[in-house]
Structure 1
């Protein structure tokens, strides 16, 4: 730490300690209505409770996630929980943003906390004898954030840390630090979470939809779906276009209360742009040309089907090298802006097949297209791509949640392309589950052919024209808005 800046750092920390409790109301409410907790907060609470109860194993928590998914809100909710429900003295809690600290001097989390303990607690890492809670936002502004966390973790068992930051946090962290930290990614909201945060409405239909997906059991899901539909009809302030707006403009708490969908979409685009131009530059030292290529690549991917694309074809399209494309795709996946699905075939065949790439949410894809204009594909085709993206996103988030069991997601590689279904899901040694996503009227010939080819017990059609869950013979029909609750 630069000695010339010590007075400024001292004033910054002092203001954070004094002002954070006073800012809770404005940070945790909108127009006087307090924000609800997303389900992830329960997991954060359990880490806090265990630490307070004397279990100091999991005390280095890292929450990566896209901008706007609510990470800062989780930190303020953790702060409020500590002082209001756990009776922790505010002097034992320090919240700060590394982006703000960076305006004073190059952010160094380790030296800042060392100074904080010395000046405000008259102690050091080794001698602090009271429990200290560090809530550190935008940690990626310190390129050595993971090492700082490791050193603090190793020097004191009385310090509990939550680091949040752009999903660029996924790009660089020390291997030694990784063994100490608990990484808990914060993903965009599914529709169940959206309803909980926006309207305070809760449903446990997710478990029954998982049972439908992996076991073909529809009875409980049908009962829950009817209940949800009844509840939404009577839900205060809920309006009929809410799901449509969520589908094309939602998934992010930061824009949830924006009544102008176009403004919400602009905010989403600028968040995406900031990941490339700001966060990736901070973490990976990308050149300006590579950042421009990354934005061009996302624009190209946003206006087409997520089908087979070679790295060379992408490189030609955006006028860069195949190696640069490979680097960009890897970085965008690590930041969770994109994810990929591999082909269903043997390991050798998979190596020779291109991956299919999807955006994290349909709203991100839609925001990019609204920014740059739509391609020549029809509206029907475009909405079909958005629906497919939503299903892929929900499946991948379900897989990554680790709440249920391990399973794999593939795309179909049957030689007759017109007979390929959109997704193949497989749990360990269980049967294959073919899934077709339909926009508009959808017949059953495609899914029945896949059921026959893969000797599946049943197949699933997820459609925007299906009104309610229905099972006809070995085909299960699920409305897209119901599936989005999974």
Structure 2
């Protein structure tokens, strides 16, 4: 176990506490078994190590491990937990648990066998933590770490400490809010940069020109590694799901014809539905349906978007501006816990209450005329008025 402490020490010397993701303050610290899910590159490892450093426990009572460490070639996760617990260990942090073959069975044994040991682990978004080999549903609490909000992007790149706001606050007080924010930064040029390359923390580590290639690498790794682990995909299945993502990337927001897709890719309809569900689980795409339809595993989605705008810029040479606006809005609203459906009037229905039409600054309100609880979210607009709200402001929801 000594080698794991040495490995941990080498990692924490590289970690700063100056900036933390939004989830750090929201971690459920009293849960005995907590899983943190998120797509690659959003900062799950850094979050765990910051949590480790910030813990008031003595150094020998807390331990970080990554599930793909060579230590586990000859030792099991349960054996580690047993040895650690016997040495008065109280906090075990496990990174990338989906890389460990018997993760669910051994987490259950750890939970049941070591009553005073807290376990916090991270996993790929593609992994269904409640459908492991052993039933963890009565034991496990999960939280999601999403990509950067526009607010977090400004904090990371410009060291700006800015507050977040609820959706209700943005809708009812947007003029007052923008008046307090705008003296602190240039909204529109920064927002344009964020849409292009600001969703992942790597934006602060590489040049803007190289972000798209790094984002493309993230997509490939999710497909070739995370989905392979989580869904036990063969190389041939990975090749087919890549082709499906390629079909989607040609014309998002995509209104799919499942029969034509299946014929084009040489797949069955059920397989296409399954692949789409897995792409959404892996947070590469977002499927949105019309009001009151919900999302069923074997149901045709009404529209398919990329999960975030950076994916669009990485996979398309010139993504459509209208699509980018809708993708951003859907991403930030969903990431902050709101339910989105396609609206019969306007673009989206939020939480079955608010109707929103999205567009450029010259967009009028004709599509939502006469609709109660409605507003316009407009790009290229620095400050709004009445029902016209700047699109960039919805990047301050978390």
Which sections of structure 1, spanning at least 5 residues, go unmatched?
Answer: 1-12, 51-57, 234-238, 401-407, 414-419
1:437-463 CA distance string (max 9 Å, x none): 113631222221xxx3xxx32421112
Q: Compared with structure 1, are the counterparts of its residues 248 and 107 closer, same or farther at alpha carbon in structure 2 (3 Å cutoff)?
A: farther
1:462 is matched with which residue? 377
Aligned 8 A contact 2:241 2:275 in 1: yes
Contact kept? 2:34, 2:142, Cα under 8 Å: yes
Q: Secondary structure at the match of 2:355?
A: strand
User: Contact between 2:32 and 2:118, CA under 8 Å: does it hold in 1?
Assistant: yes
Shift of residue 203 of structure 1?
A: 2.6
CA distance in structure 2 between the partners assigned to 1:242 and 1:258 by the alignment: 17
Q: Equivalences for 1:418-433 in 2 at 5 Å?
A: 420-427=345-352, 432-433=353-354
SS at the partner of 2:256?
coil
* Distance of 1:433 and 1:265 partners within structure 2: 34
Deviation, 1:477, is 0.9
The CA deviation at 1:187 is 0.8
Is residue 2:353 matched to residue 1:437?
A: no
Bigger Cα Rg: 1
**Alpha-carbon separation, structure 2, partners of 1:444 and 1:364:** 30
Distance 2:60 2:260 in 1: 57
1:131–1:15 distance in 2 versus 1, CA, 3 Å: closer
Question: 1:93 — aligned with what?
Answer: 62
Distance 1:324 1:194 in 2: 37
Cα RMSD, aligned residues only: 2.6
Give the 3-state SS of the residue equivalent to 2:336 in structure 1.
helix
SS of equivalent to 1:336: coil
Which runs of 4 or more aligned residues in structure 1 lie more than 6 Å from their structure 2 counterparts after TM superposition? none
2:153 pairs with one of 162, 185, 194: 194
Q: Determine which of 38, 46, 58 is the counterpart of 1:73.
A: 46
Q: Secondary structure at the match of 2:168?
A: helix
Measured in 1, the distance between the counterparts of 2:287 and 2:188 equals 33
One of 338, 341, 349 as aligned partner of 2:285: 338
Q: Is the 8 A contact 1:247 1:363 kept in 2?
A: yes
Residue 96 of structure 1 aligns to a residue whose secondary structure is strand
1:303 to 247, 250, 257: 250
Corresponding residue for residue 78 of structure 2: 110
Alpha-carbon separation, structure 2, partners of 1:342 and 1:175 = 32
Contact 1:140 1:168 in 2 (8 A): no
**Is 1:313 aligned to 2:257, yes or no?**
no
Q: Which runs of 5+ in 2 are unaligned?
A: none
Distance 1:107 1:362 in 2: 41
Match of 1:166 in 2: 124
- Contact 2:287–2:301 at 8 Å: present in 1 too? no
Q: Which residue of 2 aligns with 1:410?
A: 341
* Separation in 1, partners of 2:92, 2:257: 45
TM-superposed deviation, 1:90: 1.6
Question: 1:353 Cα shift?
Answer: 6.4
The answer to whether the 8 A contact 1:98-1:107 is kept is no
In the alignment, which residue of structure 2 is the partner of 1:249? 197
Aligned length: 394
Secondary structure at the residue paired with 1:358?
strand
